[in-house]
Amino acid sequence: MRIATFVHQGQRRVGIVSSDARSVTPLDLPADQAARGALPLIDAAAQGQALPAPAGAAIALGDVQLIAPIPRPLRNIWCVGRNYHEHAKELQGSVFKNNNANPAQWPIVFTKVPECVVGPSDTVQLPGEAVSAQIDYEAELAVVIGTGGKNIAKADAMRHIYGYTIVNDVTARDVQMRHQQWDMGKSFDTFCPMGPWIVTADELDGQHTRVRCWVNGEPRQDGRTEDLIFDIPTLIETVSRGITLYPGDVIATGTPAGVGMGLSPPQFLKAGDVVRIEIDGIGLIENRFA
């Protein structure tokens, strides 16, 4: 099942995307719940409740504006740094210059503020050169938590996943490195394009899928989640150590090799660039930078 949040005739709705991805059937949710996107559905599923009933006929996808499936996450988005082997190698001389290429014992975990989430085709706002001249893309598979929990064991972790979506972990590299902690350089307004929908975990094996990214049509990233240094169960176990995870929490699992900073010479994004990210079994997001 693919769950989309969208605007149709001026109203925010949540619905189920058809298997041919040509239409979406809205669900019967009051406006204050639809405003939360997929979150009320995730809450209901965590409590063992059924989906809301359909509300009206299917609408052609071309007639709606898709927005992020979770337009405003409950709290910060969990993110993982340096989590693909090849990506760790490409950043040895920059972000990770104090480390060797050997993966550490524990993953790097940081967060992005919820307010930076935008939709799958929204414009990403460059902050201006006075703030940052090193804006970069990061194509990532994001896990959406279904049933919450604390101290979730690796062996149980996959049962806590509601589904998957795509995020672009847009990053201001100079700001990321300036402050030691990464949250500022990762959290500029509009710096988390998300979508195009959530694919539920029964329909996608997030541990075996392909993550690709293009800039202006030029291939930049092409990785598979089998190459994760810390796999999805390990990430859920790690993030839930002593911290309760809630239904709807989002964990971005890290980016494959091929970010702009890793190129020689580095190539950062500029106004007019279009970044397209595709993950097999989910779909694609495409965002213009301005």
Which residues make up the interface to Mg ion (CB under 5 A)?
Answer: 138, 169, 255
Q: Which is nearer to Mg ion, 165 or 255 (CB)?
A: 255
Distance CA 147, CA 43 (A): 8
Residue 140, classed as helix, strand or coil, is strand
Smallest separation (angstroms) from Mg ion to the CB of 147:
25
CA–CA gap between residue 280 and residue 33 (Å, rounded):
30
For the bound state, the minimum distance from the C-beta of residue 187 to Mg ion, rounded and expressed in Å, comes to 12
Compute the least distance from the CB of residue 229 to Mg ion, in Å. Answer: 13
The residue (of 150 and 179) whose beta carbon lies closer to Mg ion is 179
Residue nearest to Mg ion (CB): 169
Q: How far is the CB of 68 from Mg ion (least distance, A)?
A: 17
Q: Are 169 and 108 in contact (CB under 8 A)?
A: no
Which residue is listed with tokens 């109203």? Answer: 11
Q: Which is nearer to Mg ion, 3 or 95 (CB)?
A: 95
Comparison of 45 and 167: residue with beta carbon closer to Mg ion:
167
Cβ closest to Mg ion, residue 169 vs residue 237: 169
Give the residue with the Cβ less far from Mg ion, 23 or 132: 132
SS3 20: coil
Task: Pick the closer one to Mg ion by CB: 76 or 255.
Answer: 255
* Burial call 254-266: b when 16+ CB within 10 Å, e when fewer: bbbbbbbbbeeee
Q: In angstroms, give the least distance from the CB of 183 to Mg ion.
A: 12
With 0-12 CB in 10 A as exposed, 13-18 as middle and 19+ as buried, what is 30?
exposed
Nearest distance from residue 169's CB to Mg ion, in Å? 3
- 3-state class percentages of the chain: helix first, strand second, coil last, to nearest 5: 20, 35, 45
244 exposure class (CB count in 10 Å sphere: 0-12, 13-18, 19+): exposed
Amino acid residing at 290: A
Smallest distance from Mg ion to CB 80, Å: 7
Least distance in Å: CB of 184 to Mg ion? 14
User: Nearer to Mg ion by C-beta: 6 or 169?
Assistant: 169
Closest residue by Cα to residue 124 from 190, 214, 196: 190
Q: What distance in Å separates the CA atoms of residue 206 and residue 162, rounded to the nearest whole number?
A: 11
Residue 99 structure tokens:
């480390």
